[in-house]
Amino acid sequence: MDLTKTLIDVIDARSFSNLWYWIVLAVSWSTASHYVVGVPFDMITRAKRQGGEAFDDLVNLVGINTRRLLYIGQVSGLVILGFWAFVMTALLMLAFWYWIEFAQAVVLLAVPMTFVGILTFKTAQKIEAEQPRGPDLLKRLMRHRFYTHLIGMVSIFVTALFGMYQNLYVVQGFGG
């Protein structure tokens, strides 16, 4: 077996037929749903079950992450927004105007993650404004995780459909 051919087969540029893309997609969504406003989900469940010191740790970490996100938004939010808009516009053009498969794969990951980022920032703003305590804080964090899961499920479904389309219809030559 030729080592060069094996490496080229493993690092294939065609994204939707590559196992590595699907691993990255799964790990990305797993990570996004595990961290709720920067707080690990196991910490939320431990605080919910045990209360006391575990809950105090949760409140402290939520406060730290909320203030951090809002500070970043205040200090450099417009620069980040402008840069991200440029990147997303370039990716969307490459993906759907020039029909580059790698750009399509990145778009199908980056666009939903952008919505999760916006959701995280909005949740941080609500937590800072309302200062929820006790069960209200847990409810807010669980709602954020639910919406992240919802975005992730829709994203993975759309990505799988588009990937099948790419692999069967376009790549195999069945399309016009």
Q: Where are the domains of the chain?
A: 39-160
Q: How confident is the model at residue 92 (pLDDT cuts 50, 70, 90)?
A: very high
Q: What is the pTM of this model?
A: 0.88
Residues 92 and 107: beta-carbon distance below 8 Å: yes
Q: Encode 33-57: b = buried (16+ Cβ within 10 Å), e = exposed.
A: beebbebeeebbebbeeeeeeebee
What pLDDT does residue 19 have? 87
Among residues of the chain, what percentage have pLDDT more than 70? 90
Show the tokens assigned to 24. Answer: 């990255």
**Residue 137 CB neighbour total at 10 angstroms:** 20
Note the helical H segments in the chain.
3-10, 19-34, 41-50, 52-96, 101-130, 135-165
What pLDDT does residue 10 have? 58
What pLDDT does residue 12 have? 58
Under DSSP, the state recorded for 129 is: H
Half-sphere exposure for 141 (CA within 13 Å, toward CB): 30
Residues 24 and 34: beta-carbon distance below 8 Å: no
What pLDDT does residue 71 have? 98
Q: How far is CA 112 from CA 76, 81, 89, in A?
A: 22, 15, 14
Residues 24-72 have pLDDT tens digits of 999 999 999 999 999 999 999 999 999 899 999 999 999 999 999 999 9
Q: How far is CA 73 from CA 36, 68, 149, in A?
A: 17, 9, 24
Average pLDDT on 99-126 reads 96
Q: How confident is the model at residue 163 (pLDDT cuts 50, 70, 90)?
A: very high
Find all residues with CB under 8 Å of 140, minimum gap 6, and list them.
123, 126, 127, 130, 132
